[in-house]
Amino acid sequence: MSRRRFFAPRESIAGGIARLSAEEVHHLRDVLRLRAGQVVEVFDGAGRSYVGRVQRDDGGLSVGSLERTEGRAESPIDVSLGLALIKYERFEWALEKATELGVREIVPLETRRCEVRLLQGKVEARLERWRRIVREAANEYLAAGLPGTALPLLCETSAAPWDGRIEARRIGVTIGPEGGWTAEEVRSAEQAGCRIVGFGPRVLRAETAAIAALAIVQFQRGDLGAAHARREES
């Protein structure tokens, strides 16, 4: 049986002890019913993983006797996903699956034709929920690192022009809303160096397009399939 994993940010790990959040302690003690002395794994979201033992600490629980361990190998490419705001349940599904596919950053985008607008005053609460989804997904697929989840941005950013080859180590994938991009947004993206691509005759939901695009990039240049096999052979 694989070891249970828990998230502890880097600043909460010191002196061979990882101090878990109340949420993680609840999951460890009340949901999984783990007890002091049991061996678990801790990851800090910044690429480090540890093995340690559950211990009692000031009336609560922490993980002590930490030893560094090899985390799951990360993709050799740094992929960011800009995804237009769509209905929350579908956006959150995309967050989970993008994390499983090794994306390093997720940026919610406010476009002209977005179905959803974040209400003023509720942005931070929504971001915290999204970060929790990302943490849980990273835990499930054994990642040591967590993708960043940024504040929503208007589509007015710039990028280095792309010459048509997928050879860069940093790749940005941007997916529009269900209603598509406006002509003005397309022009702005092209002027900023983006290459507009599609999926042939298929019409995909925004969240499906995001995952399909990430899978293609990871297959071509990352740790899925072709590129990974070539590196293993060399």
How do residues 32-75 score in pLDDT, each as one tens digit? 888 888 898 888 777 788 888 998 877 678 888 888 877 666 77
pLDDT, tens digit (0-9, with 9 covering 90-100), for 97-117:
998 888 888 888 888 888 888
Q: What is the CA angle 212-213-216, rounded to 5? A: 85
What pLDDT does residue 163 have?
52
pLDDT at 205 over 90: yes
pLDDT at 232 over 80: no
Write the CA distances from 91 to 85, 88, 96, 121, 229, integer angstroms.
Answer: 7, 5, 9, 20, 32
pLDDT bucket at 199, cuts 50 / 70 / 90: confident
CB-based contact 74:146 (threshold 8 Å): no
Cα–Cα dist 217/160, whole Å? 18
pLDDT at 228 over 60: no
Residue 135 one-letter amino acid = R
Q: Where in the chain is the domain with CATH 2.40.240.20?
A: 5-69
Return the structure tokens found at 13.
Answer: 């790990």
Share of the chain above pLDDT 70, in %: 80
pTM over 0.75: no
Q: What is the CA angle 144-149-153, rounded to 5? A: 155
What pLDDT does residue 158 have?
45
Cα–Cα dist 61/163, whole Å? 53
Domain 78-230 top-level CATH class: alpha beta
Residue with the bigger pLDDT between 176 and 57: it is: 176
What pLDDT does residue 76 have?
83
Residue 115 CB coordination number (10 Å): 16
What pLDDT does residue 143 have?
59
pLDDT, tens digit (0-9, with 9 covering 90-100), for 64-88:
888 887 766 677 888 889 999 999 9
Q: Where in the chain is the domain with CATH 3.40.1280.10?
A: 78-230
Question: First CA to last CA across the chain, in angstroms?
Answer: 34
| Residues sharing a CB contact under 8 Å with residue 158, sequence separation 6 or more, in sequence order | 192, 193
Residue 63 CB coordination number (10 Å): 27
Residue 51 CB coordination number (10 Å): 15
pLDDT at 134 over 70: yes
Return the structure tokens found at 131.
Answer: 């970060």
What pLDDT does residue 41 have?
86
What CATH number does the domain located at 5-69 have?
Answer: 2.40.240.20
